[in-house]
Structure 1
């Protein structure tokens, strides 16, 4: 049998198995989409996913890292491949107009919030279940172990570390390679790849600046934290302009600034929340240190009665796709989808906690780093794509809704099929 014939036979086998369970997986996707849950609150979602994976013959463990699900299928001797899908939602009110749109809300310390799967994590976890169906039906085509991970709390960069700290690699298996994917508003049915640095490191930092409150008519008898905060916000903008090399990309955004209750009261404190993103982990740490240095200096200059307080809300490292794994996965996807349906994915300033699964130091597990690759599946229907201006993927995506929009909907049938087949083809690239 020629290589071309073998590839064609495998493509047919994957597609045939996918179609056998597609309606069931699509129904699961609709259920999860309609019932979103916040990070570490994915109780219904994880139950649905665990039951679906058990029904496909996998050995399933619930409650890993809080609400995470781990499923294993052993099929003889061979490598262990891990497929990861996230499953948490966002506090956004859905405005897609879908028949199965979410109308759910959740109680939080800040009150009730609407919920929506605005990032497509429902799609990702459903694709993992679909890939489980394919791989269970193709056991004669592969050898080794398949490890499926449905991860909570990606949106707050908490779920990957929580699962690792709960013994993901010691209680279950240490994978030889970790594979994952994310939807993007590229053309549905296409798959994008990028080697090396693919996504940014991110730190979200909360800062409290202390003053000495008083009457607005007597500022000399008070210490105004609002003035200190204003100087901090302005001075922070000099970091990128004057401390970051011109060939590097860093973003420093003050997304929250809160102080006081009314015009004639100087408050006791001011609160800021700052987001830092970069594509170099070492430079990232330097920028965070520079922020702290500037905040301390402005507090000293403004006569703050005590030092500022810093709290890291969440953070993650850069996502570094292993070049050799990308090449292997890309070949598998080219054989399955055709070269014309692959695209070069531009580097994203968005962030993920997926790289913790491969980085031993940052992920907190022993031994060497584990190679990983994270690719992207298109989510825009063809008619919308053709009507969108732009010469390439990057240009067209500027005109389309992105994840975290209340209008964003990646779960069309073409994208769901592509995501299932992309995961299965990727796993088989290492298990055959």
Structure 2
């Protein structure tokens, strides 16, 4: 009788397991996320405004990093600070399952904000030997608020997912060196190598939109400095000098033939001279002229063609003036970001099924975006990932700019002022749904 009772209980347990409620679907998850956002949004808005008003340059983000670290500690994450300089790593373990990395950037830009917002930044700092204003004009303040909000949402829903959250706050993204600095400091050895990685960036598109790009997403980037070396002298006697400004002027024009005559016309490539520094007054020919360049490409062969072409053109410009060979110095750079094909398709489908935002899947055959991002360092280290793009301006704002015939201020503009309220909410939904997608037991 006892054996029969046990057998009956076992049978009932088996039937109960078969009849257990399935995991909530994407739409139910979205509803739960939105409910959590409503509870926490006032504090997230205050955090956003605080970060916006107090930006810090890459590798100087001491206050910002401490602020985020304190928030994560208060939620129960195990937090390690000063990883790769000012980086933060926050770990939360919730049983056996995959390790999922979610990243935000910490740094602002060396520029003056001109938005006129009541909480606009007036911060200043020393950068490259000069005093400069600092502004969150790329949207990293939106990312940080969404990062905290995503952690809050996931912890509120922890009964339905299993695995380890690895939330990282990365320094110096604008300088394209923070990701490498964290990796060099043992990010994937001191902690864990993630099974998946997710990040999102706000842009100048319409709020409530999410772009999921398959394949190449952002460009290779290389920053170079070229120093032309001449022989200075009086402006009235140029024949007694070797004029480095003339060399630089030849170079500025001639280097564009690398794009127009050496690069395949169907391949993306850009050579931009963003700084030309030489001389002090009009009647003195200086000794040197210094140019700073930004190179962008998608393909590794085009990347090398641009690097080689810039060096070759610089040397030819100097040779025409019978000057010494110029110094061509590579400053920093990063590879293109590639979204994992299977993960991108899956994420787009999950987000579309959740509703609430307009999701566009962009196939790998379409070109990526010309901006660059050192998230590629994590991808190159072997982490399958998706890097999302979310809209930053509401429809009314976009319509107003269009009516005036004006371009919408984009990232890095001193007037970049996204509708942070809606963008933060979309960021939280996007990142939380992505993490749930890979951590919810099937």
Q: TM-score scaled by structure 1? A: 0.92
Counterpart residue number, 2:358: 341
- 8 Å contact from structure 2 (residues 26, 351) kept in 1: no
Q: 1:228 aligns with which of 237, 247, 251?
A: 247
1:10 CA drift (Å):
2.0
- 8 Å contact from structure 2 (residues 345, 361) kept in 1: no
Q: Secondary structure at the match of 1:73?
A: strand
Alignment map for 1:293-304 (pairs within 5 Å): 293-304=312-323
- 8 Å contact from structure 1 (residues 151, 159) kept in 2: yes
Residues in 1 aligned to 2:419 and 2:208: alpha-carbon distance in whole angstroms: 12
Residues in 2 aligned to 1:34 and 1:100: alpha-carbon distance in whole angstroms: 6
Counterpart residue number, 1:19: 38
Residues in 1 aligned to 2:368 and 2:439: alpha-carbon distance in whole angstroms: 29
User: Which entry has the higher C-alpha Rg, 1 or 2?
Assistant: 2
Counterpart residue number, 1:138: 157
Counterpart residue number, 1:310: 328
Residues in 2 aligned to 1:7 and 1:227: alpha-carbon distance in whole angstroms: 62
Q: 1:92 aligns with which of 83, 87, 111?
A: 111
1:110 CA drift (Å):
3.9
Q: Secondary structure at the match of 2:347?
A: helix
1:223 CA drift (Å):
1.6
Counterpart residue number, 2:429: 421
Residues in 2 aligned to 1:62 and 1:398: alpha-carbon distance in whole angstroms: 43
Which deviates more, 206-215 or 161-170?
206-215
- 8 Å contact from structure 2 (residues 110, 127) kept in 1: no
Q: CA 1:2/1:310 → structure 2, altered by over 3 Å: closer, same or farther?
A: same
How big is the alpha-carbon RMSD for the aligned residues of Structure 1 and Structure 2?
A: 2.1
1:300 CA drift (Å):
2.1
Q: Secondary structure at the match of 1:347?
A: coil
1:261 partnered with 2:269:
no
Instruction: Give a deviation string over 1:40-68, Cα, whole Å, max 9, x none.
Output: 11010000000001111101000001000
Q: 2:372 aligns with which of 318, 330, 351?
A: 351
1:22 CA drift (Å):
1.8
1:16 CA drift (Å):
2.1
1:28 CA drift (Å):
1.1
- 8 Å contact from structure 2 (residues 219, 297) kept in 1: yes
1:166 partnered with 2:152:
no
Counterpart residue number, 1:400: 408
- 8 Å contact from structure 2 (residues 27, 355) kept in 1: no
- 8 Å contact from structure 2 (residues 83, 182) kept in 1: yes
1:267 CA drift (Å):
1.5
Q: 2:98 aligns with which of 79, 90, 114?
A: 79
1:206 partnered with 2:219:
no
Q: 1:373 aligns with which of 383, 386, 395?
A: 386
Counterpart residue number, 2:8: none
Counterpart residue number, 2:16: none
Counterpart residue number, 2:27: 8
1:245 partnered with 2:258:
no
Alignment map for 1:260-279 (pairs within 5 Å): 260-279=279-298
1:387 CA drift (Å):
4.5
Counterpart residue number, 2:145: 126
1:359 CA drift (Å):
0.3
- 8 Å contact from structure 1 (residues 118, 403) kept in 2: yes
Residues in 2 aligned to 1:386 and 1:219: alpha-carbon distance in whole angstroms: 55
Counterpart residue number, 1:384: 397
Counterpart residue number, 1:60: 79
Which deviates more, 328-337 or 270-279?
328-337
Which deviates more, 263-272 or 218-227?
218-227
Aligned residues: 417
1:386 CA drift (Å):
4.3
Counterpart residue number, 1:364: none
Counterpart residue number, 1:103: 122
1:416 CA drift (Å):
1.0
Unaligned runs of 5+ in 2: 1-19
1:204 CA drift (Å):
1.2
Q: CA 1:411/1:73 → structure 2, altered by over 3 Å: closer, same or farther?
A: farther
Structure 1 residue ranges, 4+ long, deviating more than 4 angstroms after superposition:
1-5, 386-390
Residues in 2 aligned to 1:8 and 1:255: alpha-carbon distance in whole angstroms: 47
Residues in 1 aligned to 2:36 and 2:86: alpha-carbon distance in whole angstroms: 29
Q: 1:286 aligns with which of 271, 294, 305?
A: 305
Which deviates more, 376-385 or 35-44?
376-385
Instruction: Give a deviation string over 1:104-137, Cα, whole Å, max 9, x none.
Output: 1112344321111101101111211111111111
Q: Secondary structure at the match of 1:375?
A: strand
- 8 Å contact from structure 2 (residues 23, 160) kept in 1: no
Q: 1:186 aligns with which of 199, 205, 213?
A: 205
Q: TM-score scaled by structure 2? A: 0.90
Alignment map for 1:323-342 (pairs within 5 Å): 323-338=341-356, 341-342=358-359
